[in-house]
Homo-oligomer: A and B are copies of this chain.
């Protein structure tokens, strides 16, 4: 591309460094920013600047937060004995939007992935173990990790680390998605959903 200005080129390069944004899109976005008023652009810049400068990680669950404790951890009406272990904060947001979970979270900050050079020490596993040993007493850990090789590895690693503790360890249910037609479902999911069938009356009253 033949960008006529170094300043514009610099902005395009920076925007194109974001994941999934190519040079042409970056140019389109830069030009749309240029068309805005000064105050609009400074609001934009300020919001991103603040994002990095002021946001914190909750010191208990490592969810993103504006304060030292996130909204979930500082909410006394939630069950602090029930901890859902997730890969990152997008999973927290996804689970929160179901309104089905009344416990608290622990954000690992990734999953074990040897191909990407991520081992157990890169995740917040030590922090999870110390949380299990300290008050408030945790009764149950729900492993809500992706159903991938990496997710299963991480879940198994956590299980091995925690199996001697007096704590219940569960994983979220794997099975056929609601709305799916059986004939189109892959064999592994369908096979598992038969092996791990649940009593019908349990499906009538869903509780977290």
Interface centre among A21, A28, A48 (most CB of B within 10 A): A48
- Bound-state Cα–Cα, A48 to B25, Å: 15
- Bound complex: CA A6 to CA B36 (Å): 24
Q: Does A167 contact B (CB under 8 A)?
A: no
Q: How far is the CA of A72 from the CA of B17 in the complex (A)?
A: 28
Stretch at the interface among A39-47, A115-123, A143-151, A192-200: A39-47
In the complex, what distance in Å separates the CA atom of A88 from the CA atom of B31? 10
Cβ contact of A18, chosen from B5, B27, B33, B64, cutoff 8 A: B33
Q: What CA separation (Å) do A64 and B13 show in the bound complex?
A: 16
On whether the beta carbons of A90 and B19 are closer than 8 Å, the reply is: no
Beyond A4-B64, A17-B44, A27-B90, 13 extra complex contacts between A and B, CB < 8 Å:
A1-B97, A2-B96, A4-B71, A4-B89, A5-B64, A11-B50, A14-B48, A21-B29, A33-B52, A38-B52, A41-B48, A42-B49, A45-B48
